[in-house]
Chains A and B, each alone.
Chain A
Amino acid sequence: DTGVSQDPRHKITKRGQNVTFRCDPISEHNRLYWYRQTLGQGPEFLTYFQNEAQLEKSRLLSDRFSAERPKGSFSTLEIQRTEQGDSAMYLCASSFVDPDYGYTFGSGTRLTVV
């Protein structure tokens, strides 16, 4: 297992287009998280899965955002009708149920909406 991988690393899209990001967590980890970081801010929580169940969604996640984790393995985050304000680094992380060792993060997907 080579850690958490995210794809793509960078995405430039036109306003109004839909985009989808993928995250492959560490296979032994039950929990998977999505965070978003905008310029000058710390990462902000978006949503969280335990196995395939999405247990919490932030109010930051408007109706244009949807996340899935089919079969409790990889996860996708889709943004529909992108807006310039969606430009950010989207980080995925995974952990054991008891995250005593912290989260393992991916390198993130940098989204630019033009």
Chain B
Amino acid sequence: ILNVEQSPQSLHVQEGDSTNFTCSFPSSNFYALHWYRWETAKSPEALFVMTLNGDEKKKGRISATLNTKEGYSYLYIKGSQPEDSATYLCAFDSGGSNYKLTFGKGTLLTVNP
């Protein structure tokens, strides 16, 4: 059974604060690490798919880093806005013939105006 852990479970920040969350995953049989943002009543939206150790990806105010040797990824949000409020999910992909993602439980971010 693959273990994908996310912390913190939830987070409240003020508008303008920068924040970050952690995703830890198995360091063996790594193929890719996905990050999704899931706003209430909407579809989960893909943010990043990261494959290479040391990868750093950016999308607007959101960025992510990847360390496959130690099995963790960080997601950073700079200058949080109320519209960033959502659950952020990471998912581990071990590739090969195993075509499924193993998700963490998510980090629920609430940004207060």
**Chain A interface residues toward B at CB < 8 A:** 3-4, 31, 33, 35, 40-45, 48, 50, 55-56, 58, 91, 93, 99-108
Contact = CB atoms under 8 A, between A and B. Distances in A.
Interface stretch (B11-19, B40-48, B64-72): B40-48
A103 B99 CA distance: 12
A56 B99 contact: yes
A42 B4 contact: yes
A106 B43 contact: yes
Contacts of B4: 42
Contacts of B47: 102
Contacts of B34: 102-103
Given A42-B105, A103-B46, A105-B45, 19 more contacts: A31-B99, A33-B99, A35-B103, A42-B4, A42-B103, A42-B104, A42-B106, A43-B101, A44-B103, A50-B99, A56-B98, A99-B93, A101-B49, A102-B47, A103-B34, A103-B101, A104-B43, A107-B42, A107-B43
Nearest to A92: B43
Nearest to B103: A42
A102 B36 contact: yes
What 3 pairs between A and B have smallest CB-CB spacing?
A: A102-B46, A42-B103, A45-B100
B17 to A, nearest CB: 25
A46 to B, nearest CB: 9
Contacts of B100: 33, 45, 48, 56, 58
A41 B108 CA distance: 12
